[in-house]
Amino acid sequence: MNKVVIDIDNVSFSYGGVSVLEEVSLKIYEDEFIGIIGPNASGKSTLLKLILGLLEPDKGTISKYNADTRNVHNHIGYVPQHSAFSRDFPITVGEVVMMGHISAPEKFFRYKKKEIERTKQVLQKLDIESIEKRHIEKLSGGQLQRVLIARALVCQPEILILDEPTSSVDMRVEEDIFALLKNYSEHMTIIVVSHDIAFISGYVDRVACVNRTLVCHDTESISGKMIEDLYGTPVKIIQHHH
């Protein structure tokens, strides 16, 4: 068994007295690809914010184990939803990806040669080097998502967290992105929030079902009954073929 990199232990959280998460526990392992699913307002995004350290739990603890404490700012990469990213700022693809190197305010757009080289490598790996000079407002949904993933990967994080990375793209692009993530999960822990349980179950190692509480399943144990219990409504699972 790989080592634990994130240990969520009996965590509860509320907004203004309204309970959002209750006694949530989950161990996430090195090089694991784990999916988080659940209905709207179930606490998925809140759980991500707690893992990222943007919120503090009311109860319980979240421990993150980093083998290289000298580079703690590079420990976790984060990819927001499309809706959380503004395209109005006049900036190119290459400049967006380069911003993933910024670790402190005093650095302010001064990059080392090795950071520039690493950016070129990531652009190539994600097949977006041909649009490096393009402004982000000119990108398709799939291109923008690859750019945001590249920005998170360029600092070589040990853990990558993605919040519904394929919510604004078609199925072909979704398949491409998840195949890419599956490849990276061989040497990186990946946590992805998604609504498409049938789709992600073909890629992830485990699925964490969140609806105030949390239950984690191996992908082989996912069933229609389990999803109905989670979402509180009848569902039909459609199998995607990759």
Q: Which own/partner pairs from 117-125 qualify as long-range (CB within 8 Å, at least 24 positions apart)? A: 118/154, 118/156, 119/94, 119/154, 122/97, 122/150, 122/153, 122/154, 123/93, 123/94, 123/97, 123/150
Q: If you search the block for the tokens 């070589």, which residue do you land on?
A: 156
- Cα 207 to Cα 220: distance, rounded to the nearest angstrom: 10
Digit-by-digit pLDDT tens for the chain (242 residues) are 589 999 999 999 999 889 999 999 999 999 999 999 888 888 998 999 999 999 999 999 999 886 554 444 458 999 987 655 677 788 999 999 998 886 544 455 577 888 889 999 999 999 999 999 999 999 988 898 899 999 999 988 999 999 988 877 778 888 888 888 998 988 999 999 987 776 777 889 999 989 999 888 776 655 556 555 555 554 444 344 44
pLDDT at 19: 95
For residue 56, the model assigns a pLDDT of 95
Alpha-carbon 31 to chain mean position: 14
- pLDDT digit string, tens, across residues 98-137: 988 865 444 555 778 888 899 999 999 999 999 999 999 9
The Cα–Cα gap between 46 and 21 comes to 8
Q: Are 141 and 169 in contact (CB under 8 A)?
A: yes
CA separation for the pair 26, 196 (Å, rounded): 21
CA distance 71 to 43: 29
Distance between CA atoms of residues 100 and 39, nearest Å: 31
DSSP code string of 123-157: HHHTT-GGGTTSBGGG--HHHHHHHHHHHHHTT--
Single pTM value for the model: 0.83
